[in-house]
A and B are shown apart, each in its own frame.
Chain A
């Protein structure tokens, strides 16, 4: 089971600091999270980048990850 960790801002919506998920790709992850944690809406999650085992994926739509992956949602990095 992959581990999803929430930062302090997301924790407010999620109601927990982390949880494990059965999903192994981004689309399944969104579906699972929004179902299990109704406060965590698509609107909150889809603007964010996904970090998979330390790799920042700015556009994670097609991203897959392993069953033991560690996942974080972070603000997309825009830059100068």
Chain B
């Protein structure tokens, strides 16, 4: 029979203590929109569930001088309501807005989306292009890992069994920078990305792209940063040739599989289209600032 032990610690220290001393496999719970479904199939194994969302700060989002510090358990619906965040990271907010449905977003969290490490997670490419950093606490202290390095495989990240993601830091972007995220699904909502692309661009006063980052999702075991696509944009005015080159670079970098949601050829092509379109949207957003 299922033997499920549930703890909801009040502090990070207590949480890490629970993780490091558990005898049974541990699952960290925030909103549970992935975890509870994954646990439905389990009938035999023992499980310790550590609910971290009641720890102070885990659901907060605060600005400091140079970054936004995000509590990993903050729900997508709280996050997407924050106009101060949307003004700076519209692409990241739109990525969170695409997850599941209105109901799911009431529980689903950014940290959960990240730690669940689905190749198709919507917020991860948007976090990567914004240079987000994971703050990880373990029994021996904290460490910092860039989001693109945090993910190690399908459903896998670099957290040790006694470590906890305690914050996501997103640096404040340079002036005249904006971002965008697009995903492809055959319907309008309630679906999982068949391909996704996030782009962040910085434009100089002449409209020339001085910096860019491109990350793509659902086309490889993890979301990946695509420097070659960014390079295709930098130094251009994002004309059709540059966009086309960025699209080709994303398609080139993609390493997708064929499954029930799409084919290799389809994903490879569409991730390029999304890259191109997201770059345009991000650039338009800079203009609108």
Q: Do chains A and B touch in the complex (CB under 8 A)?
A: no
User: Which positions in B face A, CB cutoff 8 Å?
Assistant: none
